Structure 1
Amino acid sequence: MQGVNLPRENLQRENLQSLINDDKQWVSPRKDYFNQAYSRLAQIKQGNVQRLRLAWSFATGVNKGHEGAPLVIGNVMLVHTAFPNNVYALDLNQAQKILWSFHPRQASDTEAILCCDSVNRGLAYAEGKVLLQQNNGLLVALDLQDGHVHWQTQVNDIKLGASNTNAPYVFKDKVLTGCSGGEFGVRCFLAAYALKDGSLQWKAYSTGPDDEVLIGAGFNRHNPHYSALSSYEDIAGGNREGGSFKALPKDRLKFPEDNLGVRTWLKAQGNAHGGQEPWQHGGGPVWGWFSYDPKLNLVYYGTGNPSVWNPDIRPGDNKWAMTLFARDLDTGQARWGYQLTPHDEWDYDSVNELILWNHGSHKLATHFDRNGFAYTLARDTGKLLVANKMHPFVNWATGIDLQTGIPLKDARYSTHQDQETSAICPSALGVKNMQPAAYSPQSGWFYVPLNHLCMQYEAVEAKYVAGQPWAGASITMQPGPEGVMGGFMAWDGWQGKRIWYKQEAYPVWSGALATAGRLVFYGTLDRWFKVLDANTGKELWRFQLGSGIVGNPMTYSHQGKQYVAVFSGIGGWAGVALNQGLSEDSDGAGTAGVMRGLKQFNAAPGGGALNVFGL
């Protein structure tokens, strides 16, 4: 029987958690339910990492940005590509022979609605099914052994500008997936489908009335101030003279209030919303990573930017965009929700991963946000414990009020229509974007890829038309005050402080991997795959690949030998301008000018390949 070493009936009965606990395999996008991207494999370690060599490689045949990571189930490695989202099953027992492949038929106009390159962040697996979320909104379950389609279901409608770039996740008997399209005014959501047949189990919108956001009794019970009607004195959206809002202290907040997904979206003058209510096309995309605590039965994720980028068109806090949610897996009902950047003025999406971890008896979740702050919360109640700047150059807010969770905005960096605001730090790319961090229980630290860019931002008039781009801002970017564009750091999530820090010439757009060999792995846009000492940050090894790295390193063991694998193939938001030959400073949503030097290191478009290393 081709494919895996288990009979089909065993595949149907297997326990996903037991596969996750087996470090020889890598069966979930970030290794485990907690999104820690930590492996107990230690054959490759500090004493021998200098002997790491390229063992084999696999060209994907797709020349676009390759985000995410492959999966390994038994002797089968599953490889995905950027659009058109091909899937290959490779037999590790037979010199990586292709067991089967799947080539979706997607209309070419799908690429036109993908804002930040034609990426796909990976696959999921459970009970003999390989889950692929296609860019065109189709969720497909493939058979692990021969690749045939078990079922497929349409998640989004590309005619409305809705698409998908996230990796699906499987928790218990459900497949979770989201929605992209914040720059098209799409009203996004998190949805759960039955692993058995693809039937919809629940859908939780990011905006709208409570019954559609799946907010009910008990929501934010421990932190009712998270459900305040307004975080700032001027609910109408600030004013041009005074700049940004003045944060309200806790004793002046009006809470708890209901239907905030409607009531915090006020209409500006004019008809920018095409005759509809602002929340009806309010964005809140869900295209990052999802985590899960089986004991609490809670799913954790973040929502993205409110539509449109022009904040004057949507006065109010704009809940529940820019929000961290914890939801009951069985029902989708929200246990708690905390909005990180009320009335976002800078496109600081909060879709980045929540990494679950424990500190003594404390059950925690840590999130590194695009807005430049690192947050640690109690994952059962949502109580905010830590909210500190990841880097001192962050200037749009002076800090976060821990009593309320509200950012203390600096009026000098507020954005408004027909007003150019300069020297905002970070840029819309964030101090960290979707490139996921890792956590090591061995050291107790997080390992975080960073961007160091600032920006000029000018909001412009924009009118909503279904299915058409709806950005409403012009952005240019510059390197941060250190003169470099990226970095990589170790972070103490309990103390909220940096342990060590390494500068990089360009944004680090790859994910991180931590192992019990006391090593940390990541890649760079100028093609280097690197290994650092997890304790000190000292670089121990590097290897230059054929294209910039925006994928996430992973590790597995086969026939007694540990391997580390990573995709190369430059792209994503950081590389989209290079791939598409864009040259104006504001092209690529502001990345074309600042990333111009990448053409000195990369052919365009970047050629996709999987690179596998061993001792």
Structure 2
Amino acid sequence: MRSLLLATTAAVFSFGYASAEVTDDDIANDSTITNQIVTNGMGRALQRYSPLDILNKDNVKNLVPAWAFSLGGEKQRGQETQPLVYDGVMYITGSYSRMYAIDIETGEELWQYDARLPEGILPCCDVVNRGAALYKDLVIFGTLDARIVALNKDTGDVVWRDKIEDYKAGYSYTAAPMIVNGLVVTGNSGGEFGIVGAVQARDAETGEMVWERPVIEGHMGTLNGEESTMTGTLNATWPGDMWKTGGGATWLGGSYDARTDTIIMGAGNPAPWNSWLRDAGQKNDGSGDNLYAASRIGIDPATGEIKWHFQTTPREGWDYDGVNEVVAYDNRTGEQRLATADRNGYFYVLDAADGDFVRGVPFVKNISWSSGLDENGRPIWVEENRPGDPAAAADGQKGEVIFASPSFLGGKNWMPMAFSQNTGNFYVPSNEWGMDIWNEPITYKKGAAYLGAGFTIKPNYEDHIGSLKAIDPDTGELVWEFKNDAPLWGGVMTTAGGLVFTGTPEGKFIAFDDATGEILWSFQTGSGIVGQPVTWEQNGEQYVSIISGWGGAVPLWGGEVAKKVNYLNQGGMLWTFRLPKQLASAD
């Protein structure tokens, strides 16, 4: 048992007090308890749906600011957190691996924890953090140097911490952890550095590792400190030793389907991007699929064994990461389903029991790399729209340049969609863009970028890039669409009051009519929104919070698109709104 660690490696400012503990029942029922938010996704199924209807289509116009909280300092970059709320306290993370506890009545800071990050961290896509997990008297989050830290939720003192992986090799961590059966479950980041994606489960109270499951075939899992089973079959879908640095980062975290007792994680792009180096003869027989990269994976929470997988982009060569969240839901006829909107531009519905393909439809326009999906959900490739092989080029240095749509930042990236039990529809934040992309020679070097590709992102349309789409998962039909000039990069939330909330890089926090897409309310926050909205009930009133602070991958990787939005201001402000009781029934 590791000894308890004092908070000597971070700045902690504490005015904490003893409070109630977060129970397993709190976590299991988070999606139905209206005065708390103790999980990422407002429930581990990640529906991001609130049963609250105090705030509705008729009175949302009366929503007013209650308080605002500044993250302060000079670290105003990429605020992507989802707030947690429990027993009078809100917990948020900030850029550069910071954690704050805030009094939800007043907006006053209770304590702050700043991780002391080492020199040489290698985050690919800004210094973001997407949130924390609550369990018993702990608040647990990950840091950019690939560590996981458990703090006392009342004081901010460090209780335990552990290393996920070696940051010097390119590993990092940006997702919100997940609690399942007393285990804290994490993935890892770093797919652009030739790392190996994995899922780890620790005892949430002590930090002791229980199991680890690598997601690239050939690597050995562990259970209770001993080797367990190999992932996949060695060299079944990877040539030579490429699997040893195969990528597949599990960087977005996962969901938990209590109906089947399954953890569902996404595995990202294989490494390197240059798919010709990972090709096994172009036989299209599965031998070059590079499992389990670009896949959704069902995992047994007790052992870490893989139950099933569904690969969205076999032989991936465009950086169409397969990490996008998997949402567990029941369709309109009561069938248990899973849904995910992939970076590759397709929206998938899977059978919850075994991950089998049910349906797949494009949710963005102008998909160029594939002409569709076959009956098993496998893409039908357009071979001429695969970036060219550098070895076939006259100089051996640059393969044929092709235009691919969507761009490598995806039809949808990390920003979470939401499901409405009110309408049965999904609300998907998407982007309509493409890229010039080409392959280059590359060799692996620890801690160095391992791409083997170059690219330039371009808008597909003059009048918009961002597009919030309402999608019927039973038919795949588009119900309505909201177009936005800049790319959408923030999360979405739905409510029983018939509302859909999200934000824009231009700073607007917007409430839409879930049936029609009509804008019913908006508020200018002063900086681009790339965070995740939440709502809860407090003293008989409904509250809504969103963090504002422009950043993330778009300004860093966006090419022509980045130039389009370079006027946007950074920030770090948490906005909280309320519907006063006296205005709840007002016209």
What's 1:459 paired with? 439
Residue type matched to 1:265 in 2?
W
What's 1:164 paired with? 173
Alignment of 1:158-557 (within 5 A): 158-209=167-218, 211-212=220-221, 259-260=232-233, 262-267=235-240, 277-315=241-279, 316-359=288-331, 360-402=333-375, 404-416=376-388, 417=390, 418-481=398-461, 483-557=463-537
Residue type matched to 2:314 in 1?
P
Residue type matched to 2:318 in 1?
W
Residue type matched to 2:114 in 1?
H
What's 1:244 paired with? none
In the TM superposition, what is the alpha-carbon distance from 1:170 to its structure 2 partner? 0.8
Per the alignment, in what secondary structure is the counterpart of residue 67 of structure 1?
A: coil
What's 1:90 paired with? 102
* Residue 410 to residue 11, structure 1, CA distance change in 2 (3 Å): closer
* Residue 141 to residue 20, structure 1, CA distance change in 2 (3 Å): farther
- Structure 1 distance, partners of 2:434, 2:207, is 43
- Structure 1 distance, partners of 2:33, 2:457, is 43
Residue type matched to 1:27 in 2?
V
Between the aligned residues of both structures, percent identity stands at 33
- Structure 1 distance, partners of 2:222, 2:358, is 25
Residue type matched to 1:332 in 2?
G
In the TM superposition, what is the alpha-carbon distance from 1:419 to its structure 2 partner? 2.5
* Residue 12 to residue 411, structure 1, CA distance change in 2 (3 Å): closer
Ranges in structure 2 where 5+ consecutive residues have no aligned partner: 1-13, 224-228, 280-287, 391-397, 580-587
What's 2:83 paired with? 70
In the TM superposition, what is the alpha-carbon distance from 1:3 to its structure 2 partner? 5.1
Q: Is the 8 A contact 1:205 1:213 kept in 2?
A: no
In the TM superposition, what is the alpha-carbon distance from 1:2 to its structure 2 partner? 7.1
Per the alignment, in what secondary structure is the counterpart of residue 28 of structure 2?
A: helix
* Residue 512 to residue 70, structure 1, CA distance change in 2 (3 Å): same
Per the alignment, in what secondary structure is the counterpart of residue 312 of structure 1?
A: helix
Residue type matched to 1:523 in 2?
G
Q: Is the 8 A contact 2:32 2:50 kept in 1?
A: no
In the TM superposition, what is the alpha-carbon distance from 1:608 to its structure 2 partner? 1.2
CA deviation profile, 1:411-468 (whole Å, cap 9, x unmatched):
2211123224333110001110010000011110001101110110011111110111
Per the alignment, in what secondary structure is the counterpart of residue 442 of structure 2?
A: coil
What's 2:562 paired with? 595
Residue type matched to 2:82 in 1?
A
Q: Is the 8 A contact 1:3 1:91 kept in 2?
A: no
- Structure 1 distance, partners of 2:487, 2:432, is 7
Alignment partner of 1:31 is 2:42: yes
- Structure 2 distance, partners of 1:108, 1:159, is 10
Residue type matched to 1:488 in 2?
L
What's 1:120 paired with? 129
Alignment partner of 1:573 is 2:553: yes
What's 1:559 paired with? 539
In the TM superposition, what is the alpha-carbon distance from 1:595 to its structure 2 partner? 2.3
CA deviation profile, 1:356-386 (whole Å, cap 9, x unmatched):
0012341110000000000000011111000
Residue type matched to 1:596 in 2?
K
CA deviation profile, 1:301-359 (whole Å, cap 9, x unmatched):
11000011111111121111001111111111111011110111100001010000012
Q: How many residues align?
A: 542
Q: CA RMSD in A?
A: 2.0
- Structure 2 distance, partners of 1:59, 1:15, is 29
Residue type matched to 1:594 in 2?
V
* Residue 395 to residue 213, structure 1, CA distance change in 2 (3 Å): farther
- Structure 2 distance, partners of 1:377, 1:11, is 32
- Structure 1 distance, partners of 2:330, 2:417, is 16
Residue type matched to 2:559 in 1?
A
* Residue 5 to residue 492, structure 1, CA distance change in 2 (3 Å): farther
- Structure 2 distance, partners of 1:321, 1:397, is 18
In the TM superposition, what is the alpha-carbon distance from 1:12 to its structure 2 partner? 6.3
* Residue 258 to residue 28, structure 1, CA distance change in 2 (3 Å): closer
CA deviation profile, 1:260-296 (whole Å, cap 9, x unmatched):
46321114xxxxxxxxx11001000011131112232
In the TM superposition, what is the alpha-carbon distance from 1:157 to its structure 2 partner? 0.6
Alignment partner of 1:610 is 2:574: yes
* Mean Cα deviation higher: 418-427 or 346-355: 418-427
CA deviation profile, 1:513-554 (whole Å, cap 9, x unmatched):
001110001111111111110000111122222111110111
- Structure 1 distance, partners of 2:482, 2:44, is 29
TM-score w.r.t. the length of structure 1 is 0.85
- Structure 1 distance, partners of 2:110, 2:275, is 50
* Residue 443 to residue 133, structure 1, CA distance change in 2 (3 Å): same
CA deviation profile, 1:90-118 (whole Å, cap 9, x unmatched):
1224x2222222111111322xx111111
Q: Is the 8 A contact 2:505 2:529 kept in 1?
A: yes
Q: Is the 8 A contact 1:208 1:280 kept in 2?
A: no
- Structure 2 distance, partners of 1:499, 1:158, is 44
What's 2:62 paired with? 51
Q: Is the 8 A contact 1:4 1:74 kept in 2?
A: no
Q: Is the 8 A contact 1:70 1:79 kept in 2?
A: yes
- Structure 2 distance, partners of 1:440, 1:388, is 19
- Structure 2 distance, partners of 1:534, 1:13, is 32
- Structure 2 distance, partners of 1:430, 1:492, is 20
What's 1:102 paired with? 113
What's 1:582 paired with? none
CA deviation profile, 1:118-171 (whole Å, cap 9, x unmatched):
111111111121011111111111111111222111111111111111111111
Q: Is the 8 A contact 1:69 1:121 kept in 2?
A: yes
Alignment partner of 1:79 is 2:89: no
- Structure 1 distance, partners of 2:245, 2:358, is 33
Per the alignment, in what secondary structure is the counterpart of residue 221 of structure 2?
A: helix
Ranges in structure 1 where 5+ consecutive residues have no aligned partner: 220-256, 268-276, 578-587
Per the alignment, in what secondary structure is the counterpart of residue 115 of structure 2?
A: coil
* Residue 129 to residue 511, structure 1, CA distance change in 2 (3 Å): same
Per the alignment, in what secondary structure is the counterpart of residue 554 of structure 2?
A: helix
* Residue 561 to residue 191, structure 1, CA distance change in 2 (3 Å): same
